[in-house]
Structure 1
Amino acid sequence: MTNNVWGIHTKDDNLFLHNDVIAIGWKNMGDLSKIDASRDAFKEKYESTYPDAKKGSIATGAGMLYRFIHEVEIGDYIVYPSKIDRQINIGRVEGEYTYVDDAEEYAQQRKVKWLKHLPRTAFSQGALYEIGSAMSFFTVKNYADEYMAVLDKNFKKTAISTDNGEDESVATTAEEIVETTKDFILKELSKNLKGYELEVFVADLLTAMGYRTSISAHGGDSGIDITAYKDELPPRILVQVKSQDGDIKETTIQSLKGAMREGDYGLFVTLSNYTKNAQKYLENTPIIRGINGTELVDLILKYYELLSEKYRKMIPLKMVYIPVSKQDME
C-alpha cells in the first residue's frame, strides 16, 4: 500500500457525507495556499492569527493545517467516523485543496469519493481506538491495513475475528487507555505542583488513604515535609516529597533516615524515579518506603474519589468502563 491513510473528525457530518468533502476549521487562517509551504511559516501565521493560543496548540494546529494542504495527495485514503449514524466511512481523496470563503466554519476543504460506509462493529477495538484521536486530522498507522481491507471485494465483516471469536486488540486497547490516563495525570502533577504545593497534595492523598497528616512549615527543618499517623498511636511516619525532574540519589534518602527516631517509619515520594544505588538502599532499609511517579499515579487512581475537590478539578477524570480481554476477567 503506497497511499497514505488519514483520519479526520468533524462536527458537521452532513457537510462531509452530502457534499463529498473532507474539511477542517480555522477559517481565520484564510487561504492556506497563500502561506509559504513550510511548517515554520504555518506556525508564524497561526500564532499571529491566534495570539492567545498556547505554545503546544500552535504546533499542533499549524501541523494539521500544513499536512492537510501539503502532505495529503490525490489517491490517499480517508477514514472518517460519523457521529450522526455511528458509521465508519472510507473514502479516497479526489481533489486538491480549496479554500471556501463563504463556508460558515469548515473553510479548508478537499473533495473525496466515499467508497464504503460500515458499522463500527466491523472493526477491531484497536482500530476504533486509533481513530478516536483527540486531533481533528491525523495519520492512521497501526490499523491502516485493517481499514484498507474493507475495500477488498471479498471482505467479510467477521474478518477481524480470531478463531475463538475474541477481538485480540481489546487487551492492547485497554492497556493504551490506561497508560494514556497515567501519562496525563503525571503531566498535570509536574505542571501544576512544584515544591511546597506538591507536599500539600501528597498530604491530601494520604488523608484520602486514611492517615492523619500535618504539614511542616514552608521551608521547615530537617527536610521532613509531612508527618503522618494511621491512628492515635505510633508509629509515626515521616514523609519527604521531591518534585525535581532528576532521579533521587541515595544520599537524599539517607538524609530522611537521619531525621528519623527509633520506631519511626519513613516515606519518600517523588514524581521521577530513584537511581540504582537509591533503589538498593531502599531495599536494604525496609523502614523507608519509596514511591516513584508511576506508583504515585496508581495511588491517585485508587483513591481519586476521596481527594479534595481542588485536586479533582486539577486532574479531571471521568469514571468509564473500558473493554478488557476475557483472560483479565478470570
Structure 2
Amino acid sequence: MVRAGSGGLVADDFVEKGLVGIGWGDIGTLDEYDKKSAIESAIREEYPDWPTGRHRSSSSQLQRFRLGLSVGDRVVTYDSSRRIYHVGTVESDYLHRPDLLPEYPNVRKVAWVGVVERDKLSVATRNTLGSTLTLFRLSESAADEIERALAGQAATPENDEEDADKDENTILADSKSRAIEFIKDRVNRLDANEMEQLVAGLLRAMGYKTRVSPTGADRGIDVMASPDGFGFESPRIVVEVKHRSSTAMGAQELRTFLGGRHDNDKGLYVSTGGFTKDARYEADRAKIPLMLMDLDELVSALLEYYENADAKTRTLLPLEKTYWPAWAD
C-alpha cells in the first residue's frame, strides 16, 4: 500500500501519470544516502521540530520505498472519496522525479491494471487496510482477497454485517486501550512541576479553585484545593504529588503526609509509581478521608473531566476527541 496523500488526494494523479510516489522532498534524492541512519539524520536536520518517533518512522518508510519494492511487485493505493483501491504492478526501480509530481518526488513507475471496491472486500481485509502509514505491506490474506476481487471472484460473506459489528467492537476496544496507554505515556513524560500543575488543573475541572505550592519546602502539600481557593471554605483538599518514583509509595510516606492534617481536611495522594498494599491499608484507616490516585486512576479522572479543563491544563496534556460509529441495541 502506498497512500496517495490524505484522503487519497492524488490517487487520480498516480493513475494518470502511471506511478506511485511519496513525499519528504526537502531532503532531495534518496540515492544520496547510503543507509537508513543517513536518511534519518537528513530528516532530523530538515524537520527539527518533529518528535524523534516521527523522524524514525519517516526514514523507515523512505528506505522501504527505495529498497523494499521490486519490479513486478503488486502495489495498491486508496481513493477514499470513491471508496476504491487502485491495483497495479511496479515497473521501475526507485526514481527521484520532482517534475512528475512535485509534492511526491520519490516515485516508482506503475502499470495500473484495475480497481477494487472497498465494499466488495471482507470486514477482516478492510480492517487490515486501515493503517495511516504512508507505506506498508499488506497481509498475505488481504493481498489474496484483493487479487480475487480484481478477477471478479470475491463476494462479501452473507454474515459479513454481523461480523462487522463484532470486529468493529473489537477494534474499538483495542483502540481505546492503546489510546489510554499513549495518554499515560504522555502524562508520565511530564516533569514534577508539570505534574503538580496537571493535578491542580484536574481539580479545577472538577469545580475547585487551586493553589500550587512554590518549589521548595511545602510541608507535605503540593496543591491545595477548595471552593474559595484559600482553604477557608470546606471541603479543603490537600494534595501530595509524587512523580516518577522508581518504587511504589508505602505506608510510611502516607503517615508522614497525614501527620500535619487538620480534622476537617480531605486528602489526595497522587503517585505515578503506584502504592503498596500496606499504603492502601493505611489510607483506609486514616483519620481523615484520603484518596490514593495512581497513574491509571489519574488518567481516568482526566478523561472524565477533560471537557471542563482550562487552557493551561489542555496545554499540559493536549487531547482530541475521536468519534466512532454506534449501534442501537
Under a length normalisation based on structure 2, what TM-score does the superposition of the two structures give? 0.80
Structure 1 residues 89-98 or 100-109, which shifts more?
89-98
What is the root-mean-square deviation of aligned Cα atoms in Å? Answer: 3.3
Q: Which residue of 2 aligns with 1:156?
A: 155
Q: Which amino acid aligns with 2:24?
A: W
Distance 1:288 1:61, change over 3 A: same
Q: 2:300 aligns with which of 298, 301, 311?
A: 298
Contact 1:246 1:273 in 2 (8 A): no
Three-state SS of the structure 2 residue aligned to 1:259 is: coil
Residue 19 (str. 1) matches residue 21 (str. 2): no
Note closer, same or farther for the CA distance 1:157–1:115 as it changes in structure 2 (3 Å cut).
Answer: farther
Q: Is the 8 A contact 2:122 2:156 kept in 1?
A: no
Q: Can you give the 5+ residue segments of structure 2 that lack an aligned partner in the other structure?
A: none
Answer whether contact 1:98 1:110 (CA < 8 A) is retained: yes
Rate the CA distance shift 1:202–1:47 in 2: closer, same or farther, 3 A: closer
Per the alignment, residue 8 of structure 1 pairs with 3
**What pairs with 1:207-286 in structure 2 (closer than 5 Å)?**
207-229=204-226, 234-244=234-244, 246-250=246-250, 251-275=252-276, 278-279=279-280, 281-282=282-283
Change (3 A) 1:112 1:215: same
Whether the 8 Å contact between 1:16 and 1:23 is mirrored in structure 2 is yes
Residue identity (%)? 27
Partner residue of 1:201 out of 198, 201, 212: 198
Range moving further from structure 2, 224-233 or 65-74 = 224-233
For the structure 1 residues 90 and 263, does the alpha-carbon distance in structure 2 shift closer, same or farther, using more than 3 Å as the test? Answer: farther
Task: Report matched runs for 1:104-115 at 5 Å.
Answer: 104-115=102-113
* CA–CA distance in structure 1, aligned partners of residues 316 and 126 of structure 2: 29
One-letter amino acid of the counterpart of residue 99, structure 1: H
In the alignment, the residues of structure 1 paired with residue 73 and residue 245 of structure 2 have an alpha-carbon distance, to the nearest angstrom, of: 42
Offset of residue 66 of structure 1: 0.7
Pairing of 1:69-84 with structure 2 (within 5 A):
69-84=66-81
Q: Could you list the per-position Cα deviations for residues 47-87 of structure 1 after superposition, in whole angstroms to 9, with x for gaps in the alignment?
A: 45555654333222211111111122344443422234232
Q: State the shift of 1:109 in Å.
A: 0.9
- Alpha-carbon distance change, 166 to 68 in structure 1, aligned in 2, over 3 angstroms: closer
- Partner residue of 2:321? 319
Equivalent residues of 2:274, 2:295 under 8 A apart = yes
> Counterpart in 1 of 2:31?
33
> What is the one-letter code of the residue matched to 2:26?
N
* 320 and 23 in structure 1: CA distance in 2 versus 1, 3 angstrom threshold: same
Residues 112, 308 of structure 1: alpha-carbon distance in 2 compared, 3 angstrom cutoff: same
Residues 56 and 75 (structure 1 numbering): CA distance in 2 closer, same or farther, change over 3 Å?
Answer: same
Whole-Å Cα distance in 2 between the matches of residues 29 and 278 of structure 1? 55
- The alignment partner of 1:222 has SS state of coil
Give the 3 Å change call, closer, same or farther, for CA 9–203 of structure 1 in structure 2.
same
Correspondence list, 1:66-105, <5 A: 66-103=63-100, 104-105=102-103
21-30 or 206-215, larger mean C-alpha shift: 206-215
Query: What amino acid sits opposite 1:30 in the alignment?
Result: G
Report the Cα distance in structure 2 between the residues aligned to 1:278 and 1:112, rounded to whole angstroms.
Answer: 64
Specify the code of the residue in structure 1 equivalent to 2:223.
Answer: I
In the superposition, relative to structure 1, how do residues 113 and 316 fare at CA in structure 2: closer, same or farther (>3 Å)? farther
Q: Secondary structure at the match of 1:289?
A: strand
Go from structure 1 to structure 2 and tell me whether the alpha carbon gap of 1:165 and 1:40 turns closer, same or farther (over 3 Å shift): closer
Q: Given that residues 120 and 154 in structure 2 are in contact (C-alpha distance below 8 angstroms), is that contact kept between their aligned partners in structure 1? A: no
Q: Are residues 226 and 47 of structure 1, via their aligned partners in 2, closer, same or farther at CA, if it must alter by over 3 Å?
A: closer
